[in-house]
Amino acid sequence: MATFALWINCSAAQQIKEIYVSPLGSDTNSGTYDKPFKTLHKATEQLGSKISKAQQKIVIWLNDGTYRIKDPIKIDSQINKNKVPIEFRSVQGSVPIISGSVAINNWTSLSEGMWEAKIPKYIGNFRELFVQGKRAVRARHPNKEYLRVKQVGADRRTNFTFYPEDFPLPKNPKEVELVLLHDWSITRIPIKNIALETHTISAVDSIGAKGLNFFNLDNWEPNPRYYLENSIEFLDVDYEWYLDTAMSKIYLKLPLNKNPNQFTIEAPVAESLVLLDGTEKEPISNISFEGISFEHCRYNIPNKIYAGIQACHFDTQGGAKEWAVVPAAVRTHWAKNIKFENCKFSSLGGSGIWLGTGSSNCTINRCTLWDISGNGIMIGEGQDRLVSGEPWWKIAPEQAALGNKVQDSNISDCGVQFYGAVGIWCGLTSETQLRNNEIYNLPYTGISIGWMWSPQATPCRDNTIAENHIHHVMQTLSDGGGIYMLGLQPGSKLVGNHIHDISVNTGRAESNGMFLDEGTKNVLVENNLIYNIAKSPIRFHRASTNVVRNNYLFSKGSTPSIAYNNTLAENISQEGNYEISTDNQDYKDLLKEAVSIHIPTPNKQLQNPRP
């Protein structure tokens, strides 16, 4: 009997293949515990045809340290053709980092606190620099806050005047990027010319997405906010940097007692970190990542023009409605049962992670995302992809992202470059679940779900946003909320969310705890706690029939708890909501009680809530 048990244990061990990797290893090694490979690319070469169907699973163990890559780790249907589960896991007690950066060395002192380094040709252009693990500031003026357009030009799109003392004149204006803030998006665009005689800034193309008149410069504000970025004349604060692309040189300002040759200074070179690509007929499946950090991923804007539309979708200015999306460092495509657990995503030039076209039953669990230029997490897609010349969602709705989950995760400080970014963006998705996540410190919306500005039927249905803690969002832009929703989404629910601290911004449109925009229909809004909102806790705009039930809505003064813009109030069914104004003398006590309850239930209700 003992011999039989030993045979069973040996057989099970043979079915699990373990591959070890370490930055201190060698790709000439065998990939064992004692002789690990050095690179993840070498480890993934062991997959595919070299893996037997009889194997139960493959575990790639990552030891402590940084794994620098210039090209992404790719796993496709051919590598995964035997459908054997593949796990990328950190060795216990280790902190493995997959980084798409290279170090910049050999700094030369120019003057007190000012340093210069030559950029190798293979690095090329980049938009981010990290000093000792922290994002440095691309030299800008002003250093904080914004300038104001003096007067918009005649075409309302390509130029405007400025005040004479607004900024130091750049010697090379064509190196400078103009950053202009619209209500819910921004434009980043190179400057064509700065005319001193007329005090006029001209951009190389349209400022704002073409074909959409509401992006005219003075549509929301007569004197919109802007600032200028990437000029040596703006390099006046410690830890700012400037890239001279023509001379392939970088300049960095540091405190007087700091020497960059004693620092780790990194620039991103990889355009993706991990790509999991299946096909509709052969989706990739059963791949997981646990305890791994993903850092430093480059994103250079196509045509150098980012005319933001919403949630990191933008106009490339290449023609009529040529929209693009800021990509993610980690992306799935036609993938099933992909899992990210206890992973970290940070210091990224695009978005964080994207469960893209055809992704189903994927999970992001207990992950942390911060310091990300674009969206934190993206699920599904918008309307634009064509199948047989027609929009995919019309003729192939079964291709929608289905049954994906984000839970127990912490998402903050997204939209570092592209302010219209959101913590979690979901397009035309089905059965998506976003549960128990904390989302905060964002320039725009916390969670955005839906991508149809009408009640037209799409695959978007049965999505659940529940028990999330969303706060201190909408800190830069306007016309969004803790949760932003739009379109027909039958069976969808916003339940038990805790949303607070959303202040007024300088844009024309207000921001709210929840903003249910055009076409929102057949949605249940229940048991949510919303307070410290400068405007209405809930706002409907061109919405249809929805149910708002048993919510705790704290508002300021005479501000209504629920606002209706081009929405018939009688179409919104209200049941058992507690609406408490600051005019109520017991407001603070009632708020304190509601927060202690956290998520209200029928068995824990406030007493005498109304004024």
* 281 within domain boundaries: no
Q: Using the predicted structure, report yes or no on whether residue 603 has a pLDDT greater than 50.
A: no
CA gap 358, 335 in Å, rounded: 6
Cβ contact 357:334 at 8 Å: yes
Q: Which CATH number is 27's domain given?
A: 3.30.1910
Q: Are residues 372 and 482 in the same domain?
A: yes
Tens digit of pLDDT for each residue in 150-173?
A: 999 999 999 999 999 999 999 999
Question: Which pLDDT band, with edges at 50, 70 and 90, does 319 fall under?
Answer: low
* 84 within domain boundaries: no
Q: Are residues 220 and 249 in the same domain?
A: yes
Question: Which pLDDT band, with edges at 50, 70 and 90, does 81 fall under?
Answer: confident
User: Quick one: which H or E segment has residue 588?
Assistant: helix 587-597
Could you tell me which residues are beta bridge partners of residue 264?
none
Q: Are residues 496 and 418 in the same domain?
A: yes
Question: What's the confidence (pLDDT) of residue 589?
Answer: 94
* 326 within domain boundaries: no
Q: Are residues 478 and 582 in the same domain?
A: yes
Tens digit of pLDDT for each residue in 540-556?
A: 999 999 999 999 999 99
**Domain residue limits at 246:** 102-266
Question: Which pLDDT band, with edges at 50, 70 and 90, does 211 fall under?
Answer: confident
* 406 within domain boundaries: yes
Q: Using the predicted structure, report yes or no on whether residue 608 has a pLDDT greater than 70.
A: no
Residue 508, both tokens? 């024309």
- Residues with Cβ within 8 Å of residue 554, at least 6 apart in sequence: 530, 531, 532, 533, 537, 580, 581, 582, 587, 590, 591, 594
Question: What's the confidence (pLDDT) of residue 15?
Answer: 82
Q: Are residues 420 and 477 in the same domain?
A: yes
Question: What's the confidence (pLDDT) of residue 54?
Answer: 62
CA gap 448, 577 in Å, rounded: 24
Q: Are residues 109 and 219 in the same domain?
A: yes
Tens digit of pLDDT for each residue in 412-445?
A: 999 999 999 999 999 999 999 999 999 999 999 9
Residue 76, both tokens? 């496709």
Q: Using the predicted structure, report yes or no on whether residue 82 has a pLDDT greater than 80.
A: no
Q: Are residues 258 and 168 in the same domain?
A: yes
Q: Are residues 42 and 107 in the same domain?
A: no
Q: Are residues 258 and 353 in the same domain?
A: no
Tens digit of pLDDT for each residue in 468-508?
A: 999 999 999 999 999 999 999 999 999 999 999 998 877 77
* 602 within domain boundaries: no
* 303 within domain boundaries: no
The total domain count for the chain is: 3
Q: Are residues 492 and 557 in the same domain?
A: yes
Question: What's the confidence (pLDDT) of residue 406?
Answer: 98
Q: Are residues 382 and 260 in the same domain?
A: no
The candidate with the shortest Cα–Cα distance to 274, out of 40, 79, 60, 43, is 40
Question: What's the confidence (pLDDT) of residue 322?
Answer: 67
CA gap 211, 426 in Å, rounded: 24
Mean pLDDT score of the chain: 92
Q: Determine what percent of the chain falls in helix, strand and coil, rounding each to the nearest 5.
A: 10, 40, 50
Q: Are residues 506 and 562 in the same domain?
A: yes
* 212 within domain boundaries: yes
Concatenated DSSP letters for 343-384?
-EEEEESSEEEEE-TT-BS-EEES-EEEEESS-SEEES--S-
* 319 within domain boundaries: no
